[in-house]
Amino acid sequence: MNQPRRPISMLRSYSPADALTIGNAACGTIAIFLCLDFLASGDRSRLWTAFVLLPLALIFDVFDGVVARMDRSRQSALGADLDSLADVISFGVAPAVLGFTLGLRGGWDMLVLTYFVVCGVSRLARFNATAAALADVQTGKVTHFEGLPIPTSIAIVALLGVAVLQGRIDEQLWLGVLQLGPALLHPLVLLYAASGSAMISATLRIPKP
């Protein structure tokens, strides 16, 4: 007779690495709220705080892996999925919301930003599903990524930061805006399209640190 499955205690199951992952997710979530606050108030301090929080999320993301490798005896049952969900927020949704906040609000822009987020979700789901197959037989460590890792979207965030420093928001965004059929397209949004496509590429293989 099958024994009833014991429920996972959330707080007890968290490892120190998971606490850093939660920090990653919190940074991304607060950055999204600050973008919405900027749209409502126009207070640029909110916007700059959002720009600071996303690199901070990347620092949390890097160190949660370092801490997890340092103490393998405390591997979390939730760790891998928790990390992916946090990455979706901080390096998928938050950069897309930041682009929207700065003026990528045309109909085609929103479609591309949605594509970017969906690609990020798909890439992380594929990694979780195939991690065992990608792992080295002897060490059990995943040796490479398939597709561009989603945290690389921080490069787009940095580029948008330069645009804000130059006062290029809304109509002043680099490359201007085009009317394509029923909706507007800012050519700058194609950076998101390229990043998303690279994330889901099965032929792009990057060694995992």
Which position has the token pair 């920090």? 23
Q: Tell me: domain 14-207, CATH 1.20.120.1760, correct? A: yes
User: What is the overall mean pLDDT for the chain?
Assistant: 86
Nearest to 87 by CA among 49, 45, 37, 122: 122
157 pLDDT above the threshold of 70: yes
Tokens representing 33?
């709220």
pLDDT (0 to 100) of residue 75: 62
What is the reported pLDDT for 143?
A: 62
**Mean pLDDT across 77-99:** 91
Q: What global pTM score does this model have?
A: 0.87
Q: Is the pLDDT of residue 74 over 50?
A: yes
Range 185-191 average pLDDT: 97
As a 3-state breakdown, the chain gives helix, strand, coil percent values, each rounded to 5, of 70, 5, 25
Kindly tell me the sign of the dihedral angle through the C-alpha atoms of 196, 198, 199, 201. positive
Where are the chain's structural domains?
14-207
What is the model's pLDDT at position 129? 82
pLDDT at 21: 92
> Across-strand partners of 207?
144
Which of the pair, 63 or 131, is modelled with greater confidence? 63
